[in-house]
């Protein structure tokens, strides 16, 4: 209990100090050195107490901060600290599922080494570091024995950090649209919705859900979501609510016909409630004015930018179908393409974007068909792993993992999260835990199809 209280305090302090230091522009001061020292001490303590949930949550949130604009001093320092600590995992732990470990790690490792050694396209130096960072994190995550409770805890801690950061940014900067550590309002809005979607699904689908805790977390999430001005966050919120309703009804012992009727009637009622809440929101909110224009069929600058980016991404894929144009090169390709067709890259409706704002198109354009096949294979393995364990354990909380992944893929049609520098480490962790987490099968005695022994894990 004492160790847990100390871990809670450490994470709360880190979540509060880092945003204040970075948002106040105090990056290169003595205070930053003190913060980094405290960060290293916290990681060491969390590792010593084997508190993996807190340790990984700290590393994931620190990765967001590493890519904060202007955080050059701390970026390399944090990078070294993170992997110095995480490499110790290899000496003490063993992947629960060795078969899937070797399959998935081989796919990722061979591909990263191929890109670094053979260089089929131009790669910027910072992307080399990101490749190594993401790949190692994907590997190290699989050495830890994860279960649904630990996964839920990481999501909650990560979500709390995002909420704290959002409030600090809103009150310190007074920005109309808060951008979070990703320095992108859209990315920030998408990330907070995915985190909330996964955590709230696991919580509400548990045997004894805490409605008070769910409400206490959801209210500030809605505030941050509105303040990002991101329409996709509202869509993701509604989509998540509908999936939770369907999953909850699916677990009921009633006939299939009743499930269909109950799911339709409940979701229609839910949509009416959301519409009613939307109507009473102030008209001057960015998220509302933007969404209203979309409902009216108007194509604003944001929508036009995405459409143009999708067209350019398709052009990039057709020009380099096998290996793509390389990560981090989309903006330059887009600028060159604009020049070739004599279109100003700074026209109000046509501007250069860093990526295609569509995860499949981003991967196809930057990594080609090979990168797309590897990414799709990893996602299919994740889905299969969760579905198999759901059938074995009958633990309804696992629907929350599928909901979280579904929301990620759905919103990925309009953005590239988590295939984004400041969120790739988190994405690597999410995929890795979906592959390696274990469930309690003591009641059924059944086995995971990939395991040679019965899965047993304390929940």
Q: Looking at residue 410, what is its pLDDT? A: 94
37 belongs to a structural domain: yes
19 belongs to a structural domain: yes
* DSSP category for residue 143: T
Better pLDDT: 436 or 338: 436
366 belongs to a structural domain: no
Q: For the ranges 50-64, 100-114, 356-370, 401-415, which has the lowest average pLDDT? A: 50-64
Q: Looking at residue 28, what is its pLDDT? A: 45
Residue 139 binned pLDDT confidence (cut-offs 50, 70, 90): confident
3-state helix, strand, coil in the chain (%, to 5): 70, 0, 25
Q: Which residue has the tokens 């929301």?
A: 407
- Whether pLDDT at 458 is above 50: no
Q: Looking at residue 47, what is its pLDDT? A: 63
64 belongs to a structural domain: yes
Q: Please, which residues have CB within 8 angstroms of residue 23's CB and are 6 or more apart in sequence?
A: 168, 169, 172, 173
In Å, what is the CA distance from 38 to each residue of 62, 83, 151, 355?
13, 16, 25, 35
Q: Looking at residue 75, what is its pLDDT? A: 54
Q: Looking at residue 176, what is its pLDDT? A: 80
Better pLDDT: 78 or 95: 95
Domains in the chain: how many in total?
1
Q: Looking at residue 87, what is its pLDDT? A: 63
Domain membership of residue 64 as a residue range: 1-92
Element containing residue 109 per DSSP (H, E): helix 98-118
103 belongs to a structural domain: no
- Whether pLDDT at 360 is above 60: yes
- Whether pLDDT at 35 is above 60: no
Q: Looking at residue 110, what is its pLDDT? A: 87
DSSP string, 331-381: HHHHHHHHHHTT--TEETTEE--SS-SSHHHHHHHHHHHHHHHHHHHHHHH
293 belongs to a structural domain: no
Q: Looking at residue 143, what is its pLDDT? A: 86
Q: Looking at residue 384, what is its pLDDT? A: 93
Decide: 227 and 163 in contact? Cβ < 8 Å. no
Q: Looking at residue 451, what is its pLDDT? A: 42
Digit-coded pLDDT (tens) for 4-17? 556 556 566 665 66
Mean pLDDT along residues 273-278: 81
Better pLDDT: 153 or 281: 153
Residue 337 binned pLDDT confidence (cut-offs 50, 70, 90): confident
Digit-coded pLDDT (tens) for 169-203? 888 877 788 888 777 888 899 999 999 999 999 99
Residue 449 binned pLDDT confidence (cut-offs 50, 70, 90): very low
332 belongs to a structural domain: no
Q: Looking at residue 270, what is its pLDDT? A: 86
Digit-coded pLDDT (tens) for 282-305? 767 766 666 666 555 555 566 677
Mean pLDDT along residues 354-369: 90
Compute the residue count for the chain: 459
Q: Looking at residue 122, what is its pLDDT? A: 77
- Whether pLDDT at 214 is above 90: yes
> In the predicted model, what is the mean pLDDT of the chain?
78
Mean pLDDT along residues 43-60: 72
Digit-coded pLDDT (tens) for 95-117? 888 888 899 988 888 888 888 78
Q: Looking at residue 205, what is its pLDDT? A: 93
79 belongs to a structural domain: yes
Query: In degrees rounded to 5, what are phi and psi of residue 358?
Result: -160, 115
């Amino acid at each position: 209990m004492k160790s847990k209280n100390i871990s809670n305090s450490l994470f709360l302090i880190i979540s509060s100090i880092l945003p204040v230091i970075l948002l106040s522009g105090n990056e290169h001061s003595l205070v930053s050195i003190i913060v980094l020292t405290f960060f290293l001490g916290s990681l060491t303590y969390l590792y010593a107490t084997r508190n993996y949930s807190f340790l990984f949550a700290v590393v994931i949130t620190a990765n967001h901060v590493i890519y904060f604009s202007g955080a050059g001093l701390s970026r390399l320092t944090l990078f070294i600290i993170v992997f110095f600590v995480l490499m110790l995992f290899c000496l003490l732990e063993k992947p629960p599922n060795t078969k899937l470990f070797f399959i998935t790690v081989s796919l990722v490792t061979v591909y990263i080494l191929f890109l670094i050694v053979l260089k089929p396209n131009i790669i910027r130096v910072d992307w080399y570091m990101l490749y190594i960072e993401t790949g190692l994190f994907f590997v190290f995550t699989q050495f830890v024995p994860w279960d649904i409770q630990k996964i839920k805890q990481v999501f909650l801690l990560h979500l709390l950090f995002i909420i704290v950061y959002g409030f600090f940014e809103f009150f310190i900067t007074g920005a109309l649209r808060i951008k979070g550590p990703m320095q992108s309002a859209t990315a920030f809005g998408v990330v907070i919705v995915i985190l909330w979607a996964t955590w709230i699904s696991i919580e509400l689908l548990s045997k004894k859900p805490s409605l008070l805790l769910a409400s206490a977390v959801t209210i500030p999430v809605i505030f941050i979501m509105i303040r990002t001005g991101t329409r996709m966050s509202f869509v993701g919120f509604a989509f998540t609510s509908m999936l939770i309703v369907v999953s909850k009804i699916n677990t009921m012992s009633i006939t299939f016909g009743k499930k269909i009727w109950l799911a339709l009637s409940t979701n229609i009622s839910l949509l009416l409630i959301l519409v009613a809440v939307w109507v009473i929101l102030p008209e001057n909110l960015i998220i509302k004015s933007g969404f209203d224009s979309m409902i009216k069929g108007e194509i604003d600058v944001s929508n036009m930018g995405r459409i143009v980016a999708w067209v350019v991404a398709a052009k990039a894929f057709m020009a380099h179908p096998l290996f793509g144009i390389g990560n981090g090169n989309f903006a330059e390709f887009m600028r060159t393409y604009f020049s070739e067709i004599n279109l100003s890259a700074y026209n109000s409706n046509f501007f250069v974007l860093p990526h295609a704002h569509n995860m499949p198109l981003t991967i196809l354009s930057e990594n080609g068909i090979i990168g797309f096949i590897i990414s799709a294979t990893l996602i299919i393995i994740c889905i299969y792993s969760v579905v198999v364990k759901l059938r074995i354990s009958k633990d309804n909380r696992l629907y929350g993992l599928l909901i979280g992944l579904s929301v990620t893929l759905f919103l990925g049609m309009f953005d590239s999260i988590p295939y984004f520098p400041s969120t790739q480490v988190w994405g690597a962790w999410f995929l890795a835990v979906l592959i390696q987490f274990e469930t309690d099968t003591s009641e059924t005695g059944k086995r995971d199809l990939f395991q040679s022994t019965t899965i047993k894990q304390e929940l």
